[in-house]
Structure 1
Amino acid sequence: MCAVFGIIGEYNESKAKKALSLLVHRGPDYCGIVQNERLFFAHQRLSIVDSNSRSHQPLKHQNILLSFNGEIYNFKELKKELAFDFKTQSDSEVIIAAYLKWGVDFVQHLRGMFAIALLDGKTLYLFRDRLGKKPLYYMNDSSFIFASELKAIVPFLKKNEMDEDALMSYLSFLSPTPPFTFFKGIKKLAAGEYLVHENGSSQVKRYFDLLSVKPNIITDRDEAIDSLKRLLSESIELRLNADVPIASLLSGGIDSATINAYALKHGQSLPTYTLGYQEYAKYDERENAKESAEFLGLKNTQVEISQNDFIDASEKVFDSMDEPINDPAAIPLYLLFEKIKADGYKVVMSGEGSDELFLGYKHYFEYLDIEGASNLAHKNWLKKYFRANFSMNREWEWYKRIFDDTLLFRTSGEKFTDLQKNMLMRRNVKDNQSLKYLKPYRDRFEASAHSDESIWYSYIDLNIFQAEHFLTKLDRVSMAHSIESRTPFLDHKLAQKVFSIDPKLRYEDGITKSLLKKIMKPKLTDSILKRKKKGFSNPYMEYLINSKKIELIKDVNEQTGLFKSDKLDEYIQSASNGSFKHHIWGLYVLSVWIKKQLL
């Protein structure tokens, strides 16, 4: 795991090196730079596989330069079919060999997570992995600049301005949607995209789409379970390969228990880590995690944090994120990784993606149920009723959409609806305006062979809720401590297999994660399998209110005038009473960023 950074065109050497140094946390083991008059091509290395200096990057072969962040888990397999004089034991060199054989289609042969910068002569290629685990940002101004994190590009902006599309998509979906970032002028690649830059111009293309998988290839439940079991086992085994110690996160749920159960099957008993909260035991998963650890025979370290720990770490976390991401779990997760780093681990296994692939959220089933209302023959009066009786409750919004014949499901991360934004903001926000950020994905879905709406739920959640929200959080807080996070549920072959299965097999029995639970029934206890989903919950709103940090929202709004003060007060009061908490956290994170970057 590392950082990529580069400039094509004119640059100031001192400024370029200073910007590169902002990424040292991603790769503290070595810094490599190749430069000439119009090229600065660099790499910060975190050594995980083949730590020998022969594998330092940028790697050079003839007129090709490579700076690569990530892991290619099938690199040993690829090596066998590539006629190349390999000098290292690293996966990086395999990328160059694969490019020489297959051209840009080399990326189709990679299995792993990656952000790749490959310069062939005067043509630069940037690739972001299929499911968006690794970030890649770029700016095309007088020079073309790319980096693994925004902080290394921001110094090159003439001035900091907020991108309006980033703001509006963030309020709707917890994070800015591709290609937008909060810094006007800087863009990001979406999952499954690559960019070609030559002669001063850039073109973004798509090389991967889960929807290209044919639907309903597997219609038998036993066949589905057997094929998923094989791929899940294979995915976890591949990710256990490292030349450094590996640890694992452990909650009380099925996802982390599954990863650790299969790790044991493949001969590795991973040390596990669990979070707890000093003042708020109701958010704890320590007892459940302890039960799972004891059943599996694992060492479990419990990390307890307090309100002071949370507040003290918050600024560091916001700095790590670079831009607003509405996920309060980022702060306790940062503190958890801090402990893991102190204990000497460089790789951590995590369970992201399981909920989206196996329908682990109850609201998926609620949405599927409501979808049925669209078939009502006589619904005009209901349409008029919902339009005339506005409610802030999300269920009202769901039914309104059905009776208005507009898109119902808009990611699991949807927070401020367009109508809520219109009431809150000092600007006119039209109903359904936020759909423009989902349109490319919805257009691809409607043009595909898939028709079951549950596939849409998984597809848009993997691309937005996961890639831009959860995976962004995971990447930043783990890499802030120079730790590589691995997510075996987000193996692209496993995801493709899920998309090839008759969708009804995932939900027809009304049980969340039905297929995964059937896979794991012989390996885990009923207590673990049937345990109520808790998620990575934490007392963020209690901390925000008790510390009085919540007042920052009003202070910043007085200076910016973004929101109507009376409506803002209503939201803050609601959050104090336990409602709209996530909405308010999003406004707080936004206020922190505005104060630091714009005021």
Structure 2
Amino acid sequence: MCAIFGIVGEYDEAKAKRALALLSHRGPDYCGITQKTNLFFAHQRLSILDENARSHQPIKHENILLSFNGEIYNFKELKQELSSEFNFKTQGDSEVIIAAYLKWGADFALHLRGMFAIALMDADTLYLFRDRLGKKPLFFMHQDSFIFASEIKALTPFLNKTQMNEDALMSYLSFLAPTAPNTFFKGINKLASGEYLVLKNGQYEVKRYFDLLDTNPSIITDRDEALYTLESLLKESITMRLDADQPMASLLSGGIDSATINYYAKHSGVNLQTYTLGYENFAKYDERQNAKETADFLSLSNIDVEITQDDFIDASDKVLDSLDEPLNDPASVPLYLLFDRIKRDGYKVVLSGEGSDELFLGYRQYFEFLDIEQMSKLSNKNWLKKYFRSNYSQNREWEYYKRIFDDTLLFRTSGETFTDLQKNALMKRNVKDNQALKYLKTYRDRFEASPHTDESIWYSYIDLNHFQAEQFLTKLDRVSMAHSIESRTPFLDHKLASAVFSLDPKLRYEDGVTKSLLKQIMKPHLNEKILNRKKKGFSNPYMEYLVDSKKLELIKEVNQQTGMFKPKELDELLNSASTGGFKQHIWGLYVLSVWLKKWIV
């Protein structure tokens, strides 16, 4: 796991090196730079495999330069396949990318199984790849020169002036994070998951090389076949991610996802050290007892880390700064503190359970949306449409039924926060109803053009592409890499995800049980208590902390300077914080205010 950085075109060497140094936390073990006229190509290395200097990057082969961030889990198989055509000199996975490119050209990424952000320079052509499910980030900007980096912080020094991207703001308010290709910094873009960029002769083009919707639907219709296929792929995915030359740990909650990862790791002969978060004086958020029961059942060593309000508040500014731009996920702060402890204990690789909920329908609301979808079939619904239109409510349930009766898209990611009508009521601008749909349009267009028709596939598809890739995985990448730790997410293996998309969709939800297939897979291996434990997620007392510490005053302070929101409506929203109302909305405004204060006002 590392950082990649480069400039194609004119550059100032000292400025380029200062920008590169801003990424040193992602790769503190070695810094490599290749320079020539109109090219600065660099890499910050975090050594996980083949720590020898022979695997330092950038790697050069004839006219090819490679800077790569990530892990290729099938590199040994690829190396064996390509060994007759390429003279390998290292024991790591980076060199395999060059060999694969020489054999398959730009299609080489289709042969990789793993997580990656890749910069490959072939003579005068630059290729940038982001992995299929968006686990590794890749940002770029194009002014007089073309510049790319693993994090935004290495690109901001090259902005002529800092301006906020309005599309990033509006998509963030709607969906917790800016939708690709937007970032909050006007002029800085990001690749979406499954995309690659080609730069040649000063012009670039972004293309898509992978889409889960390309999987044919309902290839597997038998439940037993589905369980066998998914268990095989899940076990394989976890086992592949146990390969490292560094000490490895795992996150452990009280739920089925982390228990599954640790069960198969142990089954493969690896006893991972596990870590669990707890909160002083907030038992309702605490999973330490549940995690202890799981650890005892699986005979795992578990360390619990307790967070206090002071810990949270003291770390929050540092955490939000590490994210580079607003990200509405309050779990980023406690997760940052947890990784701080893991780093101090000497671990450089951590396994985590992201992606299971989206693949196996782990959110109860998926089932609620499927029920609401049925109302679209009502033949006489005009009077209901008029009724909902004339009886406005801020409650999201009102919004959902209105959409059904209006014949507009119901599900707009699990991360939907401010509806368009809520934004219109709060902001000093006219926000039209359904305006936010433009940020989901490319995804919805692909879905409607695909052979998939079951709306549950849409739920998983948009959540994997945005809710997961641009929120959860962004959070995980930044807070883990801030501590020079590589995070691996076995549920987000593209072969496993593709297999889920190949099932008869009803197999996932017909019995009305969340994560039904995963629970059936794990029934022989875990006890009933773990299998059926109520989902907590990564919840934490962030709003209680903000209210008690009076941090929310920052929102009003910044709004006085920006005039973005109506004061009266903003006050009403903030007053609900003490009663636990609109928590996600308010945290999102707080995070936004922190960023605005640093960069804009």
User: Which TM-score tier does this pair reach, normalised by the shorter chain?
Assistant: over 0.9
Deviation at 1:409, TM superposition (A): 0.1
Corresponding residue to 1:119 among 105, 121, 126: 121
SS at match of 1:554: helix
Matches within 5 A, 1:276-425: 276-425=278-427
Q: Distance in 2 between matches of 1:227 and 1:546?
A: 50
Corresponding residue to 1:207 among 206, 209, 217: 209
Deviation at 1:279, TM superposition (A): 2.2
**What is the aligned partner in structure 1 of residue 60 from structure 2?**
60
Q: Distance in 1 between matches of 2:354 and 2:132?
A: 15
**What is the aligned partner in structure 2 of residue 478 from structure 1?**
480
Instruction: Flag structure 2 segments of 5+ consecutive residues without an equivalent.
Output: none
Deviation at 1:37, TM superposition (A): 2.0
Q: Distance in 1 between matches of 2:329 and 2:33?
A: 35
**What is the aligned partner in structure 1 of residue 42 from structure 2?**
42
Deviation at 1:360, TM superposition (A): 0.1
**What is the aligned partner in structure 1 of residue 10 from structure 2?**
10
Deviation at 1:575, TM superposition (A): 1.9
Q: Which moved more, 1:62-71 or 1:565-574?
A: 565-574
Q: Distance in 2 between matches of 1:160 and 1:326?
A: 21
Q: Distance in 1 between matches of 2:360 and 2:266?
A: 23
**What is the aligned partner in structure 1 of residue 576 from structure 2?**
574
Is the Cα–Cα contact under 8 Å of residues 384 and 405 in structure 2 kept in the other structure? yes
Q: Distance in 1 between matches of 2:330 and 2:93?
A: 35
Q: Distance in 2 between matches of 1:478 and 1:110?
A: 23
Corresponding residue to 2:461 among 443, 459, 468: 459
Runs of 4+ with >2 A deviation: none
Deviation at 1:361, TM superposition (A): 0.1
Corresponding residue to 2:270 among 261, 268, 272: 268
Deviations 1:469-527 (A, max 9, x none): 00000000000000000000000000000000000000000000000000000000000
Q: Distance in 1 between matches of 2:578 and 2:358?
A: 30
Asked if residue 152 in structure 1 is aligned to residue 163 in structure 2, the reply is no
Q: Distance in 2 between matches of 1:115 and 1:197?
A: 16
Deviations 1:296-316 (A, max 9, x none): 000000000100000000011
Instruction: Return the letter of the residue paired with 2:80.
Output: K
Deviations 1:176-221 (A, max 9, x none): 0000000000000000000000111110000000000000000000
Deviations 1:306-360 (A, max 9, x none): 0000000001101110000000000000000000000000000000000000000
Instruction: Return the letter of the residue paired with 2:17.
Output: K
Q: Distance in 2 between matches of 1:570 and 1:191?
A: 38
Deviation at 1:368, TM superposition (A): 0.1
SS at match of 2:81: coil
Q: Distance in 2 between matches of 1:471 and 1:575?
A: 27
Q: Distance in 2 between matches of 1:597 and 1:255?
A: 38
SS at match of 1:80: helix
Q: Distance in 2 between matches of 1:283 and 1:81?
A: 49
SS at match of 2:397: helix
Instruction: Count matched residues.
Output: 599
SS at match of 2:172: helix
| TM-score normalised by L of structure 2 | 0.99
SS at match of 1:247: strand
SS at match of 1:81: helix
Q: Distance in 1 between matches of 2:371 and 2:568?
A: 36
**What is the aligned partner in structure 2 of residue 516 from structure 1?**
518
Q: Distance in 1 between matches of 2:321 and 2:200?
A: 33
Q: Distance in 1 between matches of 2:317 and 2:383?
A: 50
Asked if residue 233 in structure 1 is aligned to residue 250 in structure 2, the reply is no
Instruction: Return the letter of the residue paired with 1:183.
Output: F
Q: Distance in 2 between matches of 1:210 and 1:365?
A: 21
**What is the aligned partner in structure 2 of residue 469 from structure 1?**
471
Matches within 5 A, 1:29-178: 29-82=29-82, 83-178=85-180
| TM-score normalised by L of structure 1 | 1.00
Q: Distance in 1 between matches of 2:87 and 2:277?
A: 47
SS at match of 2:25: helix
**What is the aligned partner in structure 2 of residue 533 from structure 1?**
535
Q: Distance in 2 between matches of 1:518 and 1:574?
A: 41
**What is the aligned partner in structure 2 of residue 258 from structure 1?**
260
Q: Distance in 2 between matches of 1:91 and 1:522?
A: 35
Instruction: Flag structure 1 segments of 5+ consecutive residues without an equivalent.
Output: none
SS at match of 1:596: helix
Deviation at 1:390, TM superposition (A): 0.5
Q: Distance in 2 between matches of 1:202 and 1:547?
A: 47
Deviations 1:148-174 (A, max 9, x none): 000000000001100000000000000
